[in-house]
């Protein structure tokens, strides 16, 4: 028993010591705790004149920003140059719009009256207050006045009776303002029952009036926050719930404090869609406090916002900061852009208006002939001079022969200089489009992308033409062999194929006939076509014809065997293509899906993907995804490629 008693005493001492240590720790912690930051509230916003965004910011009345204090706006983490105005110096009008329907009778209306009087006492002396009640119909109990006694008398005169005309009351308040700084303090405990206007119409009129709505909803069985929330959202204000009438005094007191110590901050936004905004109050290099909000910015600027220039920012200390917007916002930028688009359109128009193509299909050496002369004009002279200059530049850089071969392989009847001028014209046009967007970097990227696209399109067209020749070769060889069996010479058989076949076979075989008639050796013409179409099967045919011309033999039988081999190979290739069609389609879908999903998300909610492009982790994920997509595409292409 004694041991147990000693153990109990020891346990009590340990508990007491722990309590003392804990209390000491708490005291020390509280003594050395950092002071709480300055609470900053973003109480309203206006994006109707986007990209100009106007924020209403409130700080506590007890805090006075000194001469070194200023505000800073961060949009998605990026600082923006802003204009700051101390709005209490502006004429202010507040429309107290109070529900006086029968459901407010008793403690509800009594609490509202008491809270409204406290709100009036907290407002600046030069703030004009209007009192509006609404039951079956809205009515003005007292017009805008700075006489606080008259305002309180009007508040005391409110009597609860009838239904709720909430929408009509908000419209009446919105249309009663005469000054620029407008605020509606709305109190209601129920949903609209008798208004002639709809909630959507009332929200639209509120937004057009420029009034800021503070909605207070007294929670009852019939309360509905939908309409007050719509008014607050349309005006950039806010709405709160009050659980009981005795809570109204605290809510109205907070509203009065916010209205008494506000700043209006305006800046030009660079974002679109859901965007995070942070407002900081700074003293020298120290951040006194901050507040943040998330706004849904329009995807395109408003007509007024596009013309609106940001005025010279005025900070609370009276200093002025100027942001001209740089070269891209100047008239010189517009002039330069107009010159670029004029040059681009001029080159494209000149190329489009040129006479019939004058390139020769007689040889691969780049010779030219002019079948006819068209009347000379200023445009034709400029086009001819530019073409000659472009071709001289290509020859100097040893690029003319390669581009000429690519154009012949693609079947494009243009000279290298003309094609280069066309590509330059489209690049200029793309540059102007990017420049008109307002970003020089985007303009350069679009111009480069256009030039790359022109080259890729040329290569694709050449590849498609070669594939078409390969597919037609399966029917070309039996026709050639049949003509030889009928007694035709090799040239006559080639001529028959040129007349009976489709493009590009007819064009290539017709070119062989024309070249041989002009004196070129048949073997040289055949080798030129084989090199141009880059087809191994046709190389075999050319070798068979050359052997036949040297040693003789049954060329028709050789062509039949080559045709059968080609037919069997094409059959195997088509079977592989058919079996792999589903896999190739799946690969295409998987490749396009990330880009399509990103485009859709950017279209619906532009700010959602900002973290992916503005953070190191997001950029690394994008690079990794592109690398994996590239590896997967190359792998898929390799495993379905048929090689003989």
Mapped to the 3 state alphabet, what secondary structure does 339-360 carry?
HHHHHHHHHHHHHHCCCCCCEC
DSSP 372: S
What are the residues whose beta carbons fall under 8 Å from the beta carbon of 221, sequence distance 6 or more?
none
C-alpha to C-alpha distance for 54 and 73, rounded to whole angstroms: 11
What average pLDDT does the segment 395-410 reach?
74
- Give residue 339's pLDDT: 64
Contact 179, 91 (CB under 8 A): yes
More confident position, 644 or 417: 417
- Give residue 356's pLDDT: 45
- Give residue 346's pLDDT: 59
- Give residue 108's pLDDT: 82
Contact 443, 455 (CB under 8 A): no
In 324-410, alpha helices (H): 331-352, 378-396, 400-410
Neighbours of 203 (CB within 10 A): 24
C-alpha to C-alpha distance for 168 and 194, rounded to whole angstroms: 9
- Give residue 21's pLDDT: 38
Maximum Cα–Cα distance across the chain: 133
Name the percent of the chain in helix, strand, coil, to the closest 5: 55, 15, 25
- Give residue 361's pLDDT: 42
Query: Phi then psi for 73, rounded to 5 degrees?
Result: -110, 130
- 349: pLDDT confidence band, cut at 50, 70 and 90? low
What average pLDDT does the segment 445-453 reach?
86
What superfamily would CATH give domain 465-573? Type II secretion system (T2SS), domain F (1.20.81.30)
For residue 1, pLDDT over 90 is answered with no
| pLDDT tens, residue by residue, 24-59 | 333 333 333 334 455 677 777 777 777 888 887 777
- The residue assigned the tokens 């069996």 is 485
* H or E stretch covering 226: helix 226-235
C-alpha to C-alpha distance for 630 and 578, rounded to whole angstroms: 24
- 320: pLDDT confidence band, cut at 50, 70 and 90? very low
C-alpha to C-alpha distance for 185 and 215, rounded to whole angstroms: 6
| pLDDT tens, residue by residue, 179-220 | 777 889 988 887 888 899 999 999 899 888 888 888 888 877
- Give residue 22's pLDDT: 36
- Give residue 87's pLDDT: 61
C-alpha to C-alpha distance for 98 and 417, rounded to whole angstroms: 78
| pLDDT tens, residue by residue, 534-580 | 888 888 888 888 888 888 778 888 888 888 888 888 888 888 888 88
- Give residue 76's pLDDT: 84
Q: What angle do CA 572, 509, 474 make, to 5 degrees?
A: 15
- Give residue 64's pLDDT: 54
| pLDDT tens, residue by residue, 117-148 | 888 887 878 889 999 999 889 999 999 998 98
For residue 372, pLDDT over 80 is answered with no
Q: What is the CATH number of domain 34-312?
A: 3.40.50.410
Tokens standing for residue 182: 């407008």
- Give residue 86's pLDDT: 66
Tokens standing for residue 519: 């004196």
More confident position, 376 or 552: 552
Which of 397, 383, 403 lies closest to 458, judged by CA?
403
More confident position, 170 or 257: 170
For residue 337, pLDDT over 80 is answered with no
End-to-end CA distance of the chain: give it in Å, rounded: 100
- Give residue 303's pLDDT: 58
* H or E stretch covering 274: strand 273-283
Q: Taking the domains of the chain in order of start, what are their residue ranges?
A: 34-312, 331-438, 465-573, 581-639
For residue 504, pLDDT over 70 is answered with yes
Q: Please tell me if the domain spanning 34-312 has the same topology as the one spanning 465-573.
A: no
Average pLDDT taken over every residue of the chain: 75
- Give residue 33's pLDDT: 34
Per DSSP, the three-state class of 43 is: strand
CA dihedral 595, 601, 607, 608 (to 10 degrees): -90
| pLDDT tens, residue by residue, 83-107 | 777 665 567 888 989 989 888 888 8
C-alpha to C-alpha distance for 256 and 643, rounded to whole angstroms: 81
- 503: pLDDT confidence band, cut at 50, 70 and 90? confident
């Amino acid at each position: 028993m004694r041991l147990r008693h000693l153990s109990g005493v020891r346990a009590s001492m340990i508990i007491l010591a722990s309590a003392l240590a804990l209390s000491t720790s708490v005291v020390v912690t509280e003594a050395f705790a950092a002071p709480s930051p300055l609470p900053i509230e973003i109480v309203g916003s206006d994006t109707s004149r986007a990209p100009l965004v106007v924020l209403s910011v409130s700080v506590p009345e007890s805090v006075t920003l000194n001469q070194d204090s200023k505000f800073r706006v961060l949009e998605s983490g990026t600082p923006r140059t802003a204009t700051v105005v101390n709005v209490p110096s502006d004429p202010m009008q507040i429309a107290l719009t109070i529900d006086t329907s029968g459901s407010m009778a008793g403690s509800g209306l009594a609490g509202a009256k008491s809270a409204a009087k406290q709100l009036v006492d907290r407002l600046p002396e030069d703030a004009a207050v209007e009192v509006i009640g609404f039951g079956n119909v809205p009515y003005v109990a007292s017009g805008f006045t700075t006489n606080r006694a008259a305002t309180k008398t009007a508040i005391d005169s409110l009597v609860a009776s009838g239904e709720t005309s909430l929408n009509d009351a908000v419209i009446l308040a919105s249309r009663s303002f005469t000054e620029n700084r407008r605020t509606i303090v709305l109190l209601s405990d129920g949903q609209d029952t008798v208004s002639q206007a709809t909630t959507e119409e009332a929200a639209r009129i509120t937004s057009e009036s420029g009034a800021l709505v503070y909605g207070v909803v007294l929670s009852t069985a019939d309360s509905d926050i939908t309409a007050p929330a719509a008014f607050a959202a349309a005006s950039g204000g806010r709405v709160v719930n009050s659980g009981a009438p005795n809570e109204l005094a605290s809510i109205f007191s907070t509203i009065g404090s916010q209205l008494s110590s506000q700043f209006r901050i305006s800046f030009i936004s660079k974002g679109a869609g859901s965007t995070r905004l942070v407002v900081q109050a700074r003293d020298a290099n120290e951040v006194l406090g901050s507040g943040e909000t998330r706004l849904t910015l329009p995807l395109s600027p408003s007509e007024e916002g596009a013309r609106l220039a940001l005025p010279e920012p005025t900070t609370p200390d009276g200093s002025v900061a100027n942001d001209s917007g740089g070269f891209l916002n100047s008239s010189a930028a517009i002039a330069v852009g107009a010159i670029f688009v004029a040059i681009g359109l001029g080159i494209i128009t000149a190329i489009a208006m040129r006479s019939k193509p004058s390139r020769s299909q007689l040889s691969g050496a780049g010779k030219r002939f002019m079948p006819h002369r068209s009347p000379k004009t200023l445009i034709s002279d400029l086009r001819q001079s530019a073409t000659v200059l472009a071709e001289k530049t290509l020859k100097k850089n040893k690029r003319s022969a390669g581009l000429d071969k690519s154009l012949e392989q693609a079947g494009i009847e243009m000279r290298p200089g003309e094609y280069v001028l066309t590509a330059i014209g489209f690049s200029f046009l793309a540059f102007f489009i990017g420049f008109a967007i307002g970003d020089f970097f985007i303009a350069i990227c679009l111009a480069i992308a256009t030039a790359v696209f022109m080259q890729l399109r040329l290569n694709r067209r050449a590849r498609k033409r070669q594939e078409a020749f390969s597919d037609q070769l399966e029917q070309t060889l039996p026709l050639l062999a049949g003509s030889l069996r009928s007694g035709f010479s090799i040239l006559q058989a080639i001529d028959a194929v040129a007349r009976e076949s489709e493009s590009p076979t007819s064009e290539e075989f017709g070119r062989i006939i024309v070249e041989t008639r002009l004196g070129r050796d048949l073997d040289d013409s055949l080798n030129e076509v084989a090199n141009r179409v880059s087809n191994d099967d046709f190389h075999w045919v050319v070798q068979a014809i050359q052997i036949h011309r040297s040693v003789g033999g049954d060329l028709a039988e050789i062509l039949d065997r080559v045709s059968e081999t080609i037919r069997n190979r094409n059959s195997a290739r088509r079977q592989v293509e058919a079996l792999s069609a589903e896999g190739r389609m799946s690969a295409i879908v998987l490749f396009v899906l990330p880009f399509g999903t990103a485009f859709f998300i950017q279209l619906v909610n532009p700010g959602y993907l900002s973290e992916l492009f503005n953070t190191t982790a997001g950029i690394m994920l994008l690079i990794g995804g592109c690398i994996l997509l590239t590896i997967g595409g190359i792998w898929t292409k390799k495993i379905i490629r048929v090689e003989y």
